[in-house]
Chains A and B, each alone.
Chain A
Amino acid sequence: MSRRVNHARWWHHLILGGMACVVLTPVLLIIWVSFGSPGAQTGEFTLNHWRLVLGLGVKESDGSWTFSPFPALTWLGNSVKISLIYASLATLIAALAAYGLLRNQRASAHSLANMLLVLQFLPSVLAIVAVYILLRKLGMFVPLLGVNTHGGLILSYLGGVAFYIWFLKEQIAYLPREYEEGARVTNASAWQIFGHIVLPLLAPAFLVTFLIAFMTSFGEFPLASILLQKQTQYTLAVGAPNYLSPQYYHWGEFAAFAVLSSMPALLLLAMIQYWLLYLIPKWKKEK
């Protein structure tokens, strides 16, 4: 029996290989296109698309230099900045709210938590116009949070934090109460309990929340396209379609940009996976 567990059968390999093909083919294709689709009828290997996207410029045959009209690196930077800030804020707010909701004994807390779940069923895209109007008005008083600012975009993203609250609430519910009660008896404040007990013990859940929040905001298009109107403020999702204007399709640069913009998310995923697999279970495994 143990042998069967250790060695996958031939059809396991077939299924997993097939799934890998389906997932990896588009990725490989895009990487291929970003290098000028070498081997195709009209294509040959070139680094020009990458040079343009990275803002380095390409030397033409007549000796002049061509630069990309789009600030691709700025867009990427904007996206990373917005997503990092949003993910941190969302995780923090969700963690505090979930903890508060769960440890509050009043009946209202329970119904509020249930309401959060119901709220998730309303498609948020339908609220775009309302969000735009609200942010325009808010911008009159707090310019940092108005339309056409990254602050405003982050604020509107934070409206979707309810899902994370609900997700974390379920995680915190599994934490034995003795840990917190023990700390309360030893005069620990609520912040100490949260910082020294809940946070480290639920670090995996918080990291996963952070990752999901980062991913959703990183590729978010509808809100960003409505709220950001200056080219230098674009996020990558808003900026990328510019390469495919009706006049000319810069497929090569679009592909290079796509590969480049997947890097921060990949890096983050790798880091979080490393934390989850190697750092956190140290005390869990030995239990």
Chain B
Amino acid sequence: MSQLVLSHVSKSYLSKQRPDTLLDVNLYVNQGECLGVVGPSGSGKSTLLRIIAGLETVTKGEVRFNQQVMTDTAATKRNLEMVFQKQALLPHMSVADNILFGLKNKGLKRADQRLRLKWVSQLFDIDGWLTRLPGQLSKEAVQRCAIAKAMAPQSELVLFDEPFTGLSGDARSQLRLELNRIQRQLGTTFVMVTHQYQDAMAIADKMAVLSHLRANAQTNLEQVGPPLELYHNPRNSHVAKIIGEPQMCLLKGTLVDLSHNLTTIELATGGTVRAQVDTRQGEVGNLVTLGIRAEHMQLANADKLVHVTAQVVGIDNFGCESVVHLMRQDQKMVMRLAATSHLPKVSDVGLHFPSEHCYLFNHQDIAFPRTSASLIY
């Protein structure tokens, strides 16, 4: 039984300054599950979270929690917690007072408030910061305390609005890890909005991808599913582009041969690529878009055929890996190479696109099923 259900939720602002709109969003989250909502800024993901919190009204649709309709329930009556991206703690209260303020509002007795404060400060290891004002703490410490504040009342549902924004890489993954552990331990339901897909990939059991509302689109909820499902089988190029960094490289082309599990595509910029996709729905001559991720591109050598040639524009050498920026006519491409020793020394390189790692989208931007994907993960 799903705990949080959003059915046909739509939100439109009358003013032109706020283009972020939600159209017909259907989502459900089970108890103890973590839903990660990703999408570009302005796609309405924060609005979605605010609708769940009750800080924003819906134009159409329904929000249900534990089988109860909450669409018109005031934010103060919803019994959930929310972690904000900015100003997550009140600046004039110490961390302990901030946490106690939340507990007091829930109607807990004074002794229980103290116990809960002690419990949560141990859980998140923030004992040393309790007496400090938020302004005296680092960004990471503030976010950690803010999350502790949200977890302290032990609500069934906790919402996160970009909780890791502004944190450095290590602090980010550390906090992510802890949050994940605590969520499993307490069985709390999470909904987390983030524009960094890695945050959602790391924590979420289920991911939802929102995009800008396109003309004639039925909804701006592009796809919902387990994180790896979204990575390996994106439904369209929007999902494919949001999930993955550097962005997936998309190349226009035409179907030229549909052998039953090896499709041949001729690229508009020249070159021929084979992809392991099921193109029973396609026909020879169809316009398609070929997608390949930066981590799957390879340098061609004696064993690996050259599919495409490109010019090297620049190389970011990170030691553990190198990111090679390529250019083919007007098309930018990015390739990730694991080892530093094979860096191309020449300006023109031959690229090999492994057929099992190629994605293919038809002229309506719907992905052809990948026959290889199920074997990979």
Contact = CB atoms under 8 A, between A and B. Distances in A.
A283 B135 contact: yes
Interface in A93-130: none
Size class of the A contact interface (CB-based, 8 Å): 20 to 34
B278 to A, nearest CB: 46
Contacts of A184: 54-55, 75-76
B92 A187 contact: no
B106 interface: yes
A287 B135 contact: yes
A192 B80 CA distance: 18
Which of A183, A185, A188, A192 is most buried by chain B, counting CB atoms within 10 A of its CB? A185
A181 B106 contact: no
A192 B101 CA distance: 10
A185 B318 CA distance: 43
B363 interface: no
Interface string A262-287: 00000000000000000000111111
- Interface of A (DSSP majority class): helix
Contact of A181 (B55, B102, B133, B153): B55
Interface string B44-63: 00000000011100000000
Contacts of B77: 187
B88 interface: yes
A196 interface: yes
Nearest to B86: A178
Interface residues of B, number: 28
A189 B76 CA distance: 7
A186 interface: yes
Interface in B113-160: 133, 135-136, 153, 159
Nearest to A280: B92
A186 B102 contact: yes
Contacts of B107: 187
Contacts of A188: 76, 101, 105
A197 interface: yes
A185 B153 contact: no
B64 to A, nearest CB: 18
Given A186-B106, A188-B105, A196-B101, A287 B55 contact: no
Contacts of A283: 91-92, 133, 135
A197 to B, nearest CB: 6
A18 interface: no
A196 B91 CA distance: 11
B79 interface: yes
Contacts of B80: 185
A200 interface: yes
Contacts of B338: none
Interface in B284-343: none
A282 B86 CA distance: 20
Contact of A183 (B78, B92, B105): B105
Contacts of B90: 179, 182-183, 196-197, 201
A39 interface: no
A176 interface: yes
B55 A186 contact: no
Interface string A178-221: 11011111111100100011001100000000000000000000
B92 A185 contact: no
Nearest to A203: B92
B133 A187 contact: no
Which of A189, A283, A287 is most buried by chain B, counting CB atoms within 10 A of its CB? A283
Nearest to B103: A186
B364 to A, nearest CB: 40
Contacts of B79: 187
Interface string B78-114: 1111101011101110000000011001110000000
A189 B107 CA distance: 12
B140 to A, nearest CB: 16
Contacts of A197: 90
Contacts of A200: 92
Contacts of B133: 282-283, 286
A186 B105 contact: yes
Nearest to B136: A286
Contacts of B91: 201, 283-284, 287
A181 B56 CA distance: 11
A90 B328 CA distance: 70
Contacts of A282: 133
Which of B75, B78, B105 is most buried by chain A, counting CB atoms within 10 A of its CB? B105
16 contacts: A176-B87, A178-B84, A178-B88, A181-B53, A181-B84, A182-B90, A184-B55, A184-B75, A185-B54, A185-B82, A187-B106, A188-B105, A197-B90, A201-B90, A283-B133, A284-B91
Given A178-B84, A185-B55, A201-B90, 18 more contacts: A178-B86, A178-B88, A179-B87, A181-B53, A182-B82, A183-B101, A183-B105, A184-B54, A185-B54, A185-B81, A186-B101, A187-B76, A189-B105, A196-B90, A201-B91, A283-B91, A283-B92, A286-B133
A-B interface, 6 closest residue pairs, ranked by CB to CB distance from nearest: A178-B87, A287-B135, A286-B135, A186-B102, A187-B105, A185-B82
Interface of A: 176, 178-179, 181-189, 192, 196-197, 200-201, 282-287
